[in-house]
Amino acid sequence: MKVFEGIGELITLSGVVKKSGKRIVEKDLGRIRNGVLVVDKGRILWAGSQSMWVRQRKGIPGISKAKKVNLEGRTVIPGFVESHTHSVFAGDRSKEFEMRMTGVSYEDIAKKGGGILSTVKATRKASLNHLTEDLKLRVNRFVKQGVTTLEVKSGYGLNSSSEIKMLKAIRSISSPKLVSTFLGAHAIPPEFPNAGKYIDYLIADTLPKVVKAGLADRADIFIEKGYFDSVIGEKYLRACRDAGLDICVHTEQLNLTQGYQLAIDQKAKSVEHVVQLDAKGISEMAKSETVCVLLPAADFYLKMAYPSARKLIDGGARVALATDFNPGSSPTQDLSLVGVLARIEMGMSLPEVISAYTFNAAKALSLESEVGAILPGYSADFVVLDDGWDRLFYSVGYHPVHSTFWKGKRVF
Ligand SMILES: [Zn+2]
């Protein structure tokens, strides 16, 4: 057992949990001045103010033997939940970025061997060890920013052996918590004549192997013109759900495809991007339990419009934020950039951004009763800040993280 004392301000997010991540205002952050946090066996046993602690500590068995840690007036917030990344890949697309910036068209880049298929080629060639070592470095960059739960997708293998290799790389990392998402339906590989034939292959061959080996928690699909349509998507998502996986859907990124409706009907935990949603789509999302994961860094890199966060939130939808880290459309791991874009370009308030990067992101991953808040029973995942919570998501590149704790252990 450990007692963390001397917490200048403890941000519990108790109000965010009570409101289940909807219509968040500052008082929902559950701020406690002069806080105390007690951790036992990786979980939060007690959280509250110093004055309450003095009155209640005697009732806790074994408290006299607990180790004390003085945080010297620092701020403590829940560990960040990064709920959408493509962090496993090989190869490099920096040259392609320069081509795009100097006016070369997408088609010409693809003809020169660029685009997603160049990452597929490099990832298929890479060894499991190579993928794992690169992933470790990337995971560490997130942990240094206070991330304690990280979602990572496959999707650059596009055949059974390479998808399984990517998922094995994700599963080989034991700290902090990684959520593994099978994204075999990311694009249609050149070996297949059309999307239907490829989906049939995924359902018959890849999915059973992935599930049998316990390599994925969730499945994802890219519903978009030129990729997978809603009819194929429905067949695929049903198969994934029947196999016991949670589902999420990349949709309405470049075109309005009505993929959001498929996601709601199939009880997807989240929809990703949703830049192109119309008024009907926004109101349907607001009525649903499905979390909208917004990825403004990708919109920034693609010079696109930003999703209608304000309308979604005001309508009653749950919004999460993530980097969409990938080598093509969002080659950044920086949470501060995402939060600053959400505030400047999408009109989100700071408490909304904090909730979107903790509890709401946990909800997108079906982990909202485990992570994303500092309450008794939750995993002891928290960040000790060298600065006030109100300095977060303000200065791009500024990460005032003194230390990151996962299950009560210091991981940075
Ligand atoms: Zn993505």
If you write DSSP's letter for every residue of 363-404 in order, what string do you get? HHTT-TTTSSS--TTSB--EEEESS-GGGTTTSTT---EEEE
Question: pLDDT tens for residues 69-100?
Answer: 999 999 999 999 999 999 999 999 999 999 99
Q: Which residues, listed in sequence order, are joined to residue 150 by a DSSP beta bridge?
A: 82, 178
272 CA from centroid of ligand 1 (Å): 7
Torsional sign, CA 363, 364, 367, 371 = negative
222 CA from centroid of ligand 1 (Å): 8
pLDDT exceeds cutoff 80 at 106: no
The predicted model gives 203-212 an average pLDDT of 98
Question: What are the respective helix, strand and coil percentages of the chain, to the nearest 5?
Answer: 40, 25, 40
Q: Residue 323 in contact with residue 297, Cβ under 8 Å?
A: yes
155 CA from centroid of ligand 1 (Å): 10
324 CA from centroid of ligand 1 (Å): 5
Whose tokens are 């067949």? That residue is 235
Dihedral through CA 305, CA 227, CA 278, CA 80, nearest 10?
-60
Question: pLDDT tens for residues 269-287?
Answer: 999 999 999 999 999 999 9
Dihedral through CA 406, CA 408, CA 411, CA 412, nearest 10?
100
86 CA from centroid of ligand 1 (Å): 6
How far lies 266's CA from each of 79, 234, 250, 263, in Å? Answer: 30, 8, 14, 5
pLDDT exceeds cutoff 90 at 323: yes
d(CA 67, CA 87): 36
Tokens at 388, concatenated: 């006030």
Name the residue among 11, 155, 135, 28 with its Cα closest to residue 79.
11
In this prediction, residue 384 carries a pLDDT of 98
In this prediction, residue 109 carries a pLDDT of 85
One-letter amino acid identity for 107? Answer: E
186 CA from centroid of ligand 1 (Å): 9
Percent of the chain with pLDDT over 70: 100
β-pair type (80-82, 31-40) = unpaired
300 CA from centroid of ligand 1 (Å): 14
67 CA from centroid of ligand 1 (Å): 42
In this prediction, residue 352 carries a pLDDT of 98
73 class by beta-carbon count within 10 Å (0-12 exposed, 13-18 middle, 19+ buried): exposed
One-letter amino acid identity for 87? Answer: S
pLDDT exceeds cutoff 90 at 114: no
Delineate the domains of the chain, giving CATH numbers in brackets. 2-79+372-410 (2.30.40.10), 81-364 (3.20.20.140)
d(CA 128, CA 130): 6
62 CA from centroid of ligand 1 (Å): 46
In this prediction, residue 374 carries a pLDDT of 98
Q: Residue 17 in contact with residue 373, Cβ under 8 Å?
A: yes
249 CA from centroid of ligand 1 (Å): 9
84 CA from centroid of ligand 1 (Å): 6
In this prediction, residue 110 carries a pLDDT of 79
What contacts 353, CB < 8 A, 6 or more positions away? 321, 339, 342, 343, 392, 393
Mean pLDDT taken over the chain: 96
57 CA from centroid of ligand 1 (Å): 46
Question: Maximum CA pair distance of the chain?
Answer: 71
In this prediction, residue 113 carries a pLDDT of 79
In this prediction, residue 84 carries a pLDDT of 98
221 CA from centroid of ligand 1 (Å): 10
218 CA from centroid of ligand 1 (Å): 14
56 CA from centroid of ligand 1 (Å): 46
d(CA 346, CA 270): 19
The predicted model gives 383-400 an average pLDDT of 97
Q: Which residues, listed in sequence order, are joined to residue 41 by a DSSP beta bridge?
A: none
Ligand 1 (ion): residues with CB under 5 Å are 324
d(CA 381, CA 383): 7
50 CA from centroid of ligand 1 (Å): 43
d(CA 173, CA 272): 24
In this prediction, residue 112 carries a pLDDT of 83
69 CA from centroid of ligand 1 (Å): 39
Percent of the chain with pLDDT over 90: 96
User: What's 250's DSSP letter?
Assistant: E
In this prediction, residue 272 carries a pLDDT of 96
pLDDT exceeds cutoff 90 at 242: yes
In this prediction, residue 108 carries a pLDDT of 85
Q: Residue 345 in contact with residue 308, Cβ under 8 Å?
A: no
Q: Residue 24 in contact with residue 352, Cβ under 8 Å?
A: yes
Cα radius of gyration (the chain): 21
42 CA from centroid of ligand 1 (Å): 31
Q: Which residues, listed in sequence order, are joined to residue 294 by a DSSP beta bridge?
A: 321
pTM exceeds 0.85, yes or no: yes
In this prediction, residue 341 carries a pLDDT of 98
Window from 111-125, 281-295, 350-364 with minimum mean pLDDT: 111-125
In this prediction, residue 105 carries a pLDDT of 83
β-pair type (80-82, 147-153) = parallel
The predicted model gives 256-271 an average pLDDT of 95
23 three-class SS:
coil
Name the residue among 350, 347, 313, 307 with its Cα closest to residue 22.
313
